[in-house]
Structure formats: C-alpha cells, structure tokens
Chains A and B, each alone.
Chain A
C-alpha cells in the first residue's frame, strides 16, 4: 500500500463513451501526476498539478481532460478515445513538485484501460 489509490483497476470502453479515472492520495502531498504506460513505450508524463494548479501538459490530446479539485484528488476525464489510447494509466504524487528537490514519486496501481 503506497498511499495512492486509483479506481477503477480495469476499464473497457467504446470510442464514443465518456468515463473518468480517479486517483486519491493520503500522503499529504502537494503535487499529483498522470503517466501513461504503453506496452512498447517508456512511461509518458501527461499532466502535473502543483497545489491544484496545472503546471505541465505534455502535448496531450484534448480527449484527455484532467481535473484536480484539491491536493488529494485527481481525475482524468476520457471522451471519444481511440484504440491506441489503450494503456495503463498511472497516478503518482510527490511532496511539492518543484523539481528542485528530491522528488520521490509514489505511484498508484494504475487503471488498465482498453478502448474498443
């Protein structure tokens, strides 16, 4: 148990569906992240939030829409996805996300997403 919880663990959706991924951290951290893990690519950073403000959007298509209502919760809203978006989506948190200190990330177990 790392203190970062993701739901659901598995999700199958059609290309016209709208769904949301949820992440919650119980570590008192101020930074939260979404990463995408595909079978044949390195982990790809998608979004970074620091103190609820988005500080990084790594050229992610608009069909992925993040939301961070407070420092403990992070959502990823999905709509009109493509089959190539099928991947493991990992949420992580860290103490302050400034990048200038020892930025230890704590990961959730991920949501395995399949787009049909």
Chain B
C-alpha cells in the first residue's frame, strides 16, 4: 500500500510560523491535501495542491510541494492558539480511489 509519513508533534509560540512536513510514496498522486482535526471533531479540509504546482498560498497557509522528493509541507504564518489541532497530510491513492492519510502532526501553540 501507499505510505504517508509525518512527524508526530510540533510546538511553537503564538505569532511564530509553523511548518508541518509530510512525505508520500505514490508518484502518480494528482492531488495532495491538508486536513485539520480539532478535539472531538472530524477532519476538516484546509487546503490542497495539484501535483503540477510547486506552491499554493491561501491567506495564512502556504503549501509547498517538491514532487521529485515526494515532500509536502504546510506553513502557517502568525500561528494562533486556535490553530492548535492535529494536521493530516493525505494523497489520493489512485489504485483504491480513496485518500491515504498520514498519522497526523499534533500542533501545540504556546501563548
């Protein structure tokens, strides 16, 4: 099966930038996604990037894609306490026609 890997934990101070990293294995993925999960809730789509793009910016969020290294990152500028959550990277598994998720990175924002 396809694998998506993320570091488990990241702690930053309020106002700093956060960078969450992800590596994936399916080179045929057309879209890659970032989801956010707050406590007691399901996953919420934050942003996504098409595989022929290197970068996508959406307000405080910047997604960088290095397709050669199969590396995806999510940068959150001016991180707020409300950004504390688990962030999941996901790729489209073209064989199973469904998303494969990483284990999630828990972001803790210190006031």
Which A residues fall within an 8 A CB radius of B? 2, 4, 6, 33, 35, 41-43, 45, 48, 55-56, 58, 90, 92, 97-110
Using known A-B contacts A48-B96, A56-B98, A99-B98, determine if residue A109 contacts B103 with beta carbons closer than 8 Å: no
| Residue among B31, B40, B99, B104 having the largest count of chain A Cβ atoms under 10 Å | B99
- Of chain B, the residue at the smallest CB distance from A112 is B40
Whether B60 is near chain A, meaning CB under 8 Å from some CB there, is no
- Of chain A, the residue at the smallest CB distance from B103 is A42
- B residues in contact with A106, CB < 8 Å: 45
Q: For the complex, would chain B's binding face be called helix, strand, loop or mixed by DSSP majority?
A: strand
| Residue among A4, A106, A107 having the largest count of chain B Cβ atoms under 10 Å | A107
Given A45-B96, A45-B98, 8 other A-B residues pairs in contact with their CB atoms under 8 A? A33-B98, A35-B101, A45-B100, A48-B97, A48-B98, A97-B97, A102-B30, A108-B42
How far, in whole Å, are A92 and B97 apart by their CA atoms in the complex?
14
Interchain CB contact under 8 A, A90 and B98: no
Interchain CB contact under 8 A, A42 and B101: yes
- Chain A's nearest CB lies how many Å from the CB of B34? 12
Using known A-B contacts A43-B88, A109-B40, A109-B41, determine if residue A103 contacts B103 with beta carbons closer than 8 Å: no
Query: Which of B58-111 touch A at CB < 8 Å?
Result: 88, 92-94, 96-104
The 10 A-B residue pairs with the shortest CB-CB distance, nearest first, are: A99-B97, A107-B42, A43-B101, A107-B43, A42-B103, A109-B42, A45-B98, A108-B42, A102-B31, A48-B98
Interchain CB contact under 8 A, B97 and A42: no
